């Protein structure tokens, strides 16, 4: 396929938007490919602003695809978590800054609670700095309606997110302590790091051993890691790295990335543990 320099200029922005909309790198790649096909079939004389045309095409394609995959996610085996975009075991300053432009798995999981158009309006405003007139034209709604969608989305997301951001080094130190305690199956140490009402969500997709429902409570989560540490069989290798720009635990088994785990922290306690274990979502990441 012949490369189109103009389209390639906008490809990173289109992919970033589609990935945030869908929480899946494979779905995002499909949306960008579909946008490319529409771009090739369009009459250049009718395209006054290529960037606006391409973002509109990618957003509408992304909304349509999100509507289709929502049913699949509702019937998914166990909890569904976003598909990680990229894993880095030893990010340097430049590489870390590049990856940090992506969004955390916890935030992508929160976005799943929004409707497709509400999610698109919120992302266009908050992540891509579009004004309401642009969003209204792009989505085919009034400015007032778009303002209301973004306002509702902000309220819903703010209610679920930690009240205060955690300094990155502190986040990493706490995650490292959790990794050592979990690897050893030290129930007391694990429970001490978790909030009483902590939640664990693991996504195995029916293809890896994982809890079929979210697990609530520090003691129950600590008991799970205690049991996993005592399970017979080959032991995984645990390392710290980054996933989508945030610190993460990477577990390797027989040279294959077995799972990634990220945490959400509030008041110096872990309030949420997210583990992606579905091999389809990890394939090709590292």
170-179 contacts, C-beta under 8 A, 24 or more apart: 170/265, 170/268, 171/246, 171/247, 171/263, 171/265, 172/240, 172/247, 174/263, 174/265, 174/268, 174/270, 175/240, 175/247, 175/248, 175/249, 175/263, 176/240, 178/249, 178/263, 178/270, 179/238, 179/240, 179/249
* Residue-number span of the structural domain to which 14 is assigned: 1-75
% the chain with pLDDT above 90: 76
* Residue 50 placed within a domain: yes
pTM for the full predicted model: 0.89
| 221 in any annotated domain | yes
One domain for residues 172 and 276: yes
Q: Is the pLDDT reported for residue 92 higher than 90?
A: no
CATH of the domain at 254: 3.10.450.50
Q: Of 75, 96, 116, which residue is a domain's last?
A: 75
User: For residue range 24-70, what is the model confidence (pLDDT) as tens digits?
Assistant: 999 999 999 999 999 999 988 889 999 999 999 999 999 999 999 98
Single out the residue in 75, 95, 111 at which a domain terminates. 75
Give the CATH number for residue 24. Answer: 1.10.1740.10
Count the domains in the chain.
2
**Interval 131-178: pLDDT, tens:** 999 999 999 999 999 999 999 999 999 888 777 778 888 999 999 999
234 lies in a domain? yes
Q: Range with the lowest mean pLDDT among 85-94, 161-170, 178-187, 209-218? A: 85-94
């Amino acid at each position: 396929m012949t490369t189109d320099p103009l389209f390639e200029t906008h490809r990173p922005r289109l992919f970033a938007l589609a990935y945030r909309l869908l929480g899946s790198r494979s779905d995002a790649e499909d949306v960008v490919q579909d946008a490319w096909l529409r771009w090739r079939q369009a009459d250049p004389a009718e395209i006054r602003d290529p960037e606006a045309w391409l973002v509109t095409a990618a957003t509408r394609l992304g909304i349509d695809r999100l509507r289709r995959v929502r049913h699949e996610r509702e019937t998914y085996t166990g909890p569904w978590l976003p598909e990680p975009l990229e894993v880095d075991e030893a990010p340097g300053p430049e590489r870390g800054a590049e990856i940090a432009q992506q969004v955390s798995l916890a935030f992508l999981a929160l976005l799943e609670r929004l409707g497709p158009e509400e999610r698109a309006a919120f992302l266009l405003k908050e992540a891509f700095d579009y004004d309401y007139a642009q969003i209204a034209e792009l989505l085919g709604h009034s400015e007032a309606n778009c303002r209301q969608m973004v306002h509702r989305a902000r309220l819903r997301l703010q209610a679920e997110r930690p009240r205060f951001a955690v300094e990155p080094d502190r986040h990493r130190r706490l995650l490292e302590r959790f990794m050592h305690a979990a690897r050893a199956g030290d129930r007391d140490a694990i429970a001490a790091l978790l909030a009483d009402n902590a939640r664990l969500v693991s996504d195995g997709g029916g293809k890896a051993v994982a809890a079929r429902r979210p697990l609530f409570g520090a003691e129950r989560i600590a008991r799970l890691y205690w049991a996993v540490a005592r399970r017979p069989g080959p032991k995984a290798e645990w390392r710290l790295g980054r996933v989508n720009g945030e610190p993460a635990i990477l577990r390797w088994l027989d040279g294959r990335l077995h799972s990634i785990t990220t945490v959400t922290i509030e008041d110096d306690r872990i309030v949420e543990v997210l583990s992606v274990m579905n091999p389809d979502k990890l394939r090709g990441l590292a």
